[in-house]
Amino acid sequence: MTRPAPAATVPEVIDIPEELAAAQEKFNKEAGRAFIAALPDLTADFLHRWDLRVTGPSMHGVSALVLPVDRADGTPAVLKLQLRDHESEGEPVALRLWNGDGAVRLLDHDEPTGTMLLERLDATRMLAHRPDVHEGVLVIARLLAHLHTTPAPPGMRHLRDIAAALLERTPRALPRIPDPAARRIVADCAAAVREVADEPGDRLLHWDLHDENVLASDRAPWLAIDPKPLAGDPGFDLWPALANNFDPDDIGWRFDAMTDVLGLDRARARAWTYGRLLQNCLWEIEDGRPLDEADLETARRLRSLTA
C-alpha cells in the first residue's frame, strides 16, 4: 500500500514525497503536476474542514498521499488525497457499499476532489510481510470471496466496456510485437476474452488486491484497502495474487487455490485472467515498453492447466 519515503518539505503543511511527484509526472503528465502543486493547499483545507490533526509522517503509493491524523474526538484515521480519475472515482462508492465488511471503512468523502477520510489500519502489519506466500494467497482469495458477494451499483465502470476496448485495441497492437511467440500469446489472450465477453459479470470487483493492499486491524485479522473498483466477473480479480512474489512454478497452485475458494468455473476464470494479462500487455505495447516476461510466463502456465 503506502510507505514512508524521502520527501521534499512544504513548510508548515506536509511533506510531499519525491517518489509520488515523480510517479505523477510519469503517469499523469500535466494533470499530475497540477495535482502535486495543489497538494499543500488541498491538504491544509481538509485538515481544517474535517478538524484533523496530523500525527505522523506522510506516506504514499503510486497515486495518493496518505497522512495519519486524529479526528477532533481523538479517533485515529488517515487522510487520503489522490488525483481523481476513472479508477479512483469508484473507490468511495465501493467502500460505502462494503461498509467496513472485509475492507477499510470510509469515514468521510469529498466528491469533487476524491479526498477521503478512512479508518486507520495497522500499516506495520501488511500481508506482504508474512513469509508464507500460500497463506497470503488464501487470505486474498477469502477476502475476494467476501467482497464479491456485493453486486456492483449502477454507474460503476464495467468490465463489459473494458473488454470491448481491449479487443478493439488488440489488432493495432499485435504487429508491434516483434517476437512471434509473444505475439501468439497476446492473440490467444484476446481470443479467450472474446469467448466470454458477452457475459462480463456483475459483481463489485476490487481489481488491485495484492499483498500490499491487505492490512491488519484490531477489528479484523485482514482488511482490503485501495480498491480500483469495477463491475464484472470475479475471474478478473485473480491476477494480482498470481503476480505477488512471482514464482512461475507456483502459478498452478495459486490459480487452483483461488478458484476453489471463490467457487469459480475454472475455464471462465482462466479466460478473464487472460483478460488481465491482455490489459497489461496492451499498456506496455502502447507505451513503447517490452512485454513483461512474468505476464507471458503466467499465460503459458495457465494454458498448460487442465480445465
Q: How does pLDDT run across 82-125, given as a tens digit for each residue?
A: 988 888 889 999 999 999 999 999 999 999 999 999 999 998 99
Residue 252 and residue 306: Cα distance in Å, rounded? 10
Give residue 171's pLDDT.
Answer: 98
68 vs 62, which has greater pLDDT?
A: 68
Residue 158 has pLDDT above 60, yes or no: yes
Give residue 84's pLDDT.
Answer: 85
Residue 268 and residue 262: Cα distance in Å, rounded? 13
Give residue 16's pLDDT.
Answer: 82
pLDDT (average), residues 260-273? 98
Residue 78 has pLDDT above 60, yes or no: yes
Mean of pLDDT over the chain: 93
Residue 16 and residue 293: Cα distance in Å, rounded? 33
- How many Cβ atoms are within 10 Å of 53's Cβ, its own excluded? 11
Give residue 131's pLDDT.
Answer: 95
109 in helix, strand or coil? strand
- How many Cβ atoms are within 10 Å of 139's Cβ, its own excluded? 21
Give residue 1's pLDDT.
Answer: 42
pTM of the model: 0.92
DSSP 21-71: HHHHHHHHHHHHHHHHHHHHHHHHHHHHHTT-EE-S--EE-SSEEEEEEE-
Please report which confidence band the pLDDT of residue 28 belongs to, taking 50, 70 and 90 as the band edges.
confident
Any idea which residues carry the catalytic annotation?
208
Percent of the chain beyond pLDDT 70?
95
pLDDT (average), residues 146-174? 98
Q: How does pLDDT run across 159-172, given as a tens digit for each residue?
A: 999 999 999 999 99
Residue 263 has pLDDT above 70, yes or no: yes
Taking a C-beta distance cutoff of 8 angstroms, is the pair 6, 18 a contact? yes
